Structures are given as C-alpha cells and as structure tokens.
Chains A and B, each alone.
Chain A
Amino acid sequence: MATAIKVENLSKIYRLGEIGTGTISRDIERFVKTKILKQEDPFLKIGESNDRATKGVSDIVYSLKDINFEIEQGEAVGIIGRNGAGKSTLLKILSRVTSPTTGKVNIKGRVASLLEVGTGFHPELTGRENIYLNGAILGMRKREIDRKLDEIIYFSGVERYIDTPVKRYSSGMYVRLAFAVAAHLESEILIVDEVLAVGDAEFQKKCLGKMGEVSKGEGRTVLFVSHNLGAVEQLCKKGILFNNGQLKSIGITRDIIDYYVKNNSMMHDSLSRVFENNDLIISPIEIFQNGNLQFYNKDKIYFSFQINSKTKLTAISGEFFFETSNGTIVFSYFTPQFSMEENTIKKIKICVPAYIFNDMLYSITLGISESYSRFIIKKESAAKFEIACVNEELGWMGDFPGVVRPKISCEIL
C-alpha cells in the first residue's frame, strides 16, 4: 500500500520562560550567527528532552525530537502519551498550524484536521450560517457544503434549531453541529484531537461510529489522539506512543496501550505540579487518609487543593471527575458555587466515603467551571492514586472485577 504520511527527522523546539525580554538582541545574534557567519543555530545546540518534572539547564526544550515514522493509506492510527509528550505538537505540525524547527513531513492527499470542534463558530450567526462558515474554515468549497447541507443537518440532529443563532444552543447541540460539519469533510486524511471529550455518550458513540466508517469503509487515513484508551483501541489498529517528545514505540494498538499503562502507572507522578492560566493558579491535589501513603477502600479518602485567584471569579465551582486508567468516568462531583475576589486563596476539601473505589489505579480530572457550564481551567490526570482493598470477611483473595467496590450486605436465607 502507498504511504500517506511520511515524517522524517521532525523536531520542534520551544523557548521557555518570558518571551519578549531581550528578544531583539537575541534575534540579531541568531541572525548574524546563522545567516552571515553560517554557524550552527546557537539555540538549537542546547536543547534537551521535554521532561517537565526535572528542571532543565537551558530554557530551550524539544517538544518533538527526531521523529520518524510512516503511515500507510487507509490506516487508523492512535497516538497516545502523557500530557506534554508531544502529541498535540505533532498534530499541529501535521495540520500546518505551526511549522517544525527541523525535519520534513510529506503528505499525500488532502488533510482535514479537527483539533477542536466548532473553530470559528460565531455565536450571533444561525446554525445554518455557521455550517457554511465552519465548513469554509475547514477548507470546504461553498458548492461542497451546499451539496452536503441536508446530510450535515440530519447528522447533527438539530434540525429544529438550524435557523436559530448558536448562542442559544445548549453546549451539546453546539458540539453536535460542529462535529457534523467536520465529519462531512471530504479528505483523504483525517486528524482528530481529543474531540470526543465533549458531548454525551450517545453522540460520542455516533462520532466513533462515523470515524470507524471513515477509516474502514471509505479507506481514509485517520490519526487519532485521545486520552480515552478504550476509544483508541476500538478505533485504531496501529498505535504510536510518545514520551517526552520522542517516539517511544510504534506497533499494534493493544501492545502499545499495555506498554503505556505499565510505564505510566507510577503513582503521584503528577502530584507535585501546579497548573495555572490567566485567571487562577491551582495547587497540586493532596490526597490523604489517616496519614497513609497507601489508600484503603475501607476508609474515607480526602482530596484537597488550593485556588489562588488572579482575577475576580464569580459563580465558580470545582469539578472532580474520577476516572479509571482507560478514561471511563467512574463518578464525578461538583462543589457548590462560590466566588473569589482578585488575589485571594480558597481551599477546597472533599471527602469521598469509604467503600467506593476498587483495587486499582484511578486518576482525577480536575476542572474549575463557571456557572457549572464553561470550564475556566481543566486538567486531565491532575492526580493519580491507587487503592488497595482488604478482603475483610471473605476467603477470596483475588480480584473483584469492576470499577467500584461498594460494601454490600448479604443475607443467605
């Protein structure tokens, strides 16, 4: 079979820290050294791998380093790796949003990339107008959209609201419409990043179905990034694992996922990191239970974190999503709404009752949302923890299948 995508020695560097101070002098230095003196680029030499946990020596990191692979036509390939492993950077380069620092990518066929659903949707325009606008942004010609309009509207399932401005849509309807447009792109290569994280279960199923149809039925090439390992496994035959900007492994999806899960289950790996945006800073989640380092399901377990506000925040709430390692949400909890003045600190502490978790690894996606609807910040895998169970009364010492392990009473009569 012919090659659809060929990536050769691809690297991408980022400069860390404050951009803007001293850049003119650096730009001039760089220009003189590379263009006039024909020396090697001084900023490329001091690169190091993108390991965020350890502090680097220089302020230049490789987000991607010497990536080489080929993808054949009609293959569905899943890309997995931890946050910051370079997956999104790769997709951005492939979708031409940013350009690589060195290396080369050759692509055969038209590329449609979906790094986000509903890019460019304008809230004031109606659903129909937005189909045209979004379609055009994704590279469709007007004729093409005309031809597919009915199909798109039908797929989205929002016929009744199609002439209503999308600002009146529920977030679910919005996502449906946006995905419907993207799903009808005519391209040989489809690049999809994390878009399934939104929408309800039924719609997610529909999307996965559509993507499966695209790769298997129509023979198009699909590149798929997701934290939902279940979806990756279901959809893709081949997987690529990234770690710290380097390609770790490439092969059959099942093997890649196993390898990834095994290497990624080091507990507390993300517990020491603060994350922030323009509105607030979130401290690492602390998990505690009677001073234990190993958590048991027979005791209550506490989770707490601290918010430092940078701006005034009103009607916000903390949202916890407890997930299994393959991305299934076990349960979620939304705190009551509260408000914060600028530059203040609030601490949130929740208590999960005993006998919920099973004997396995869980991760928490943490979000701060406004009016329970819009995320101000959202952090996947904000913390990971492992639970141990003590089989109190029974003689059975093996596993109890399932993602929860409630205490169940039983009478044998």
Chain B
Amino acid sequence: MQNSKDNIIEEWDLTIEPQTSLFELNLKDVWRYRDLLWMFVKRDFVSFYKQTILGPLWFFIQPLFTTIIYTFIFGGLANLSTDGLPQPLFYMAGITAWNYFADCITKTSTVFKDNANIFGKVYFPRLIMPLSIVASNLVRFGVQMILLFMMMGYYALHNASFSITPAILLFPVLVLLMALLGLGLGLIITALTTKYRDLAFLVTFGIQLLMYTTTVIYPLSSAPEKYKTLISLNPMTGIIEAFRYAFLGQGQISVNTLGYSAVFTIVVMVLGVVIFNKTEKTFVDTV
C-alpha cells in the first residue's frame, strides 16, 4: 500500500479514540438504529400487559384513582380553587400532563443503572435507550389522553362550564416541551448517578415535591401573589397552565411563560445530551 497518508486515513470506517469532542453526538448512528428504538417501545408496551388480566386497561387505572383521591382531598377537604372547572376534570388534565413529564424523568434517570448489563455487552448509540423511554411513555400518555377526552365528553353532556380553545393547536409543542424537559433532566441525573449515587435518592421524592410547586393541584391564578413568581420559575408551570387552557379554557397562558419554558427546556436538553454523551463512553468502568 503506497497511498499517501491522507488516503489511508479516509479509508477507515471507524476510528476508536479515547476523547472525542463534547458535541460529537453521532446522530447519524442514532438514525441508523431507529428500528431498535421502535423495538424497545414495542417491548415495553407488550411486556407491560403480558400476563395481566386487565391488560392495557392498567394505563387508565392509575390516573383515574389519583384523580378521585385528589378530588376528595384537595377539592373536598382542602377546598382548593379549580378556576370554576369541574374538579375531576381540572385534576385529570393536570395529572395526565404531569405524569408524562414525571415518567420521562424517573425512567430516564436510571437508564445507565438499569441497562448496565446490556450496555456492557453490546454497542448501540446509548441515546436510543432514553429516547425509547420517552417514546413508550408517549404511548402511555396517548392512552391517558383518551381517558381525559372521555371525561370531557361526559362533562360536556352535563353542561359543565369548560371550553376547548384554539390554543389546542399548541398541544404538540407542549408535549414536545414536556418530553424534552423530562428527557434532559433525566439524562443529567443518570449521567451523574453513575459516579455520585446520591442523586438517585433525590429523584423520587424530588419529583413529588416539584409537583407541589407546579400548578397541578391548584391554578396559578389562585396562588398567593408573593409566591407567584417562584411558582412561575418552575418551567413546568407554564406548560401545565397552557395545557389546561388549551383543553379546558382556564389557565394563564402567555408568550413569556411559554417562551421561558422553551428556553429552559432547550438549555437542559443540550446540557443533558452533552453530559450523557460524555458519560456513556466510560460508564461501564464505574457502574
């Protein structure tokens, strides 16, 4: 082989080196493995209801019971305002949206730990795994949206006061924001927990606490004035409020809050992917 040196370098299909730049994300590889993403989603879905009697009905049961409990405690006992909306509808909308975000975070935050075995044995773009989690949660979210629609239908027949607004066109954007925000935070957490285990303990109750600073069980309009800014600083607040406004016609929607959420999401997402990408190369040695 008497080629010039440059020619030889170009010939290689793959070069394995210790450090790659922070932003070398290998998105081409992710695209090449898109079938795998779909397989994982299918696996999650099928294995979820195999050997259960109620099967996919289980997707309904959790939000339904949570709604009943919230209606009883926060609506009945604590008498929190729901902006004039029927209480179950108000809570259901909040819970459905929040659950999607929370599931995305909790499931992606353990990606490295849960898949240490498979990651230690075979290469595929690691990003596929968290992406598949977000996608299979999307299926779940879709099913739960049907429940919300059914409930809206029921209340429409009983002349309850709510209305779907044109903001419903923003729905895909809202879902995307929730998915990316959950994904981004999850990626940061999972990358850091490979070395510093402490964060893992924080996630479960941290998310619960976070829910109370988001407008899931109360509307932003009824929050005390001095806490309003604080609550609005939570990027999920703007999303949940917009979500509720879109489907039920009550909630505070503005370019500012949504813009803030979007910027926050993008920053978290970029940060998450970069940290994740850096960790995936060597985590096998530390987990």
A interface, CB within 8 angstroms of B: 2, 6, 14, 19-20, 23-24, 27, 92-111, 113, 115-116, 119-120, 122, 124-125, 129, 132-133, 136-142, 165
Contact A124 B46 (CB under 8 A): yes
Pull 6 A–B residue pairs with CB atoms less than 8 Å apart, ordered by A: A92-B120, A106-B14, A120-B118, A124-B46, A136-B33, A142-B35
Q: Report A122 CB to chain B, min CB distance, Å.
A: 5
Encode contact with A along B11-37: 1 for CB under 8 Å, 0 otherwise. 111111110000000000000010110
Contact A14 B121 (CB under 8 A): no
Contact B196 A105 (CB under 8 A): no
For window 24-60 of B, CB contacts with A under 8 Å fall at 33, 35-36, 38-40, 42-43, 46-47, 50-51
Given A105-B15, A107-B16: 16 more A-B contacts, CB < 8 Å: A19-B195, A24-B196, A27-B195, A96-B123, A98-B281, A100-B17, A104-B17, A113-B123, A119-B121, A122-B47, A124-B51, A125-B43, A136-B36, A137-B36, A137-B118, A142-B35
Contact B121 A104 (CB under 8 A): no
Contact A136 B39 (CB under 8 A): yes
Chain A residue nearest to B47 (CB atoms) is A124
* A23-B197 Cα distance, complex, nearest whole Å: 12
Residues of A within 8 A of B1 (CB): 2
* A268-B123 Cα distance, complex, nearest whole Å: 37
Q: Report A258 CB to chain B, min CB distance, Å.
A: 32
Contact A139 B124 (CB under 8 A): yes
Contact B122 A138 (CB under 8 A): yes
Residues of B within 8 A of A137 (CB): 36, 39, 118, 122, 124
Contact A105 B46 (CB under 8 A): no
Residues of B within 8 A of A138 (CB): 122
Tell yes or no: B225 within 8 A of A by CB.
Answer: no
Size of the B side of the interface (Cβ < 8 Å), in residues, is 37
Residues of B within 8 A of A120 (CB): 118, 122
- Contacts A14-B285, A98-B285, A122-B47 hold; do A107 and B13 have CB atoms under 8 A apart? yes
* A108-B9 Cα distance, complex, nearest whole Å: 10
Residues of A within 8 A of B121 (CB): 97, 115-116, 119
Q: Pick the residue among B46, B51, B195 that contacts A23 (CB under 8 A).
A: B195
Tell yes or no: B282 within 8 A of A by CB.
Answer: yes
Chain B residue nearest to A106 (CB atoms) is B12
Q: Report A358 CB to chain B, min CB distance, Å.
A: 38
- Contacts A92-B284, A99-B281, A107-B13 hold; do A119 and B118 have CB atoms under 8 A apart? yes
Residues of B within 8 A of A105 (CB): 15-17
Encode contact with A along B182-215: 1 for CB under 8 Å, 0 otherwise. 0000000000000111000000000000000000
Q: Report A118 CB to chain B, min CB distance, Å.
A: 10
Chain B residue nearest to A143 (CB atoms) is B35
* A27-B17 Cα distance, complex, nearest whole Å: 21
For window 92-121 of B, CB contacts with A under 8 Å fall at 117-121
* A136-B120 Cα distance, complex, nearest whole Å: 16
Tell yes or no: B286 within 8 A of A by CB.
Answer: yes
Residues of A within 8 A of B42 (CB): 129
* A92-B38 Cα distance, complex, nearest whole Å: 26
* A263-B42 Cα distance, complex, nearest whole Å: 51
- Contacts A103-B18, A120-B118 hold; do A132 and B123 have CB atoms under 8 A apart? no
- Contacts A23-B195, A133-B39 hold; do A139 and B33 have CB atoms under 8 A apart? yes
- Contacts A104-B15, A108-B12, A113-B123 hold; do A97 and B33 have CB atoms under 8 A apart? no
* A101-B282 Cα distance, complex, nearest whole Å: 9
Q: Pick the residue among A99, A115, A116, A136 that contacts B35 (CB under 8 A).
A: A136
* A30-B286 Cα distance, complex, nearest whole Å: 17
- Contacts A98-B281, A120-B118, A137-B36 hold; do A104 and B124 have CB atoms under 8 A apart? no
Contact A97 B284 (CB under 8 A): yes
Contact A115 B122 (CB under 8 A): yes
Contact B47 A93 (CB under 8 A): no
For window 244-287 of B, CB contacts with A under 8 Å fall at 281-282, 284-286
Chain B residue nearest to A165 (CB atoms) is B50
* A165-B50 Cα distance, complex, nearest whole Å: 10
Q: Pick the residue among A98, A102, A107, A119 that contacts B14 (CB under 8 A).
A: A107
Chain A residue nearest to B195 (CB atoms) is A23
Contact A98 B284 (CB under 8 A): yes
Chain B residue nearest to A98 (CB atoms) is B284
Contact A100 B16 (CB under 8 A): yes
* A263-B12 Cα distance, complex, nearest whole Å: 37
* A23-B194 Cα distance, complex, nearest whole Å: 12
Q: Report B130 CB to chain A, min CB distance, Å.
A: 16
Residues of A within 8 A of B123 (CB): 95-97, 113, 139
Counting from the closest, the 10 A-B pairs by CB-CB distance are: A96-B123, A136-B36, A105-B16, A106-B12, A99-B281, A107-B14, A124-B47, A142-B35, A136-B39, A98-B284
Residues of A within 8 A of B285 (CB): 14, 98
* A137-B124 Cα distance, complex, nearest whole Å: 7
Chain A residue nearest to B9 (CB atoms) is A106
Residues of B within 8 A of A110 (CB): 13
Residues of B within 8 A of A93 (CB): 16
* A133-B124 Cα distance, complex, nearest whole Å: 13
Q: Pick the residue among A2, A94, A113 that contacts B122 (CB under 8 A).
A: A113
Kindly name the residue among B42, B123, B196 whose own CB sees the greatest number of chain A CB atoms within 10 A.
B123
Contact B43 A133 (CB under 8 A): yes
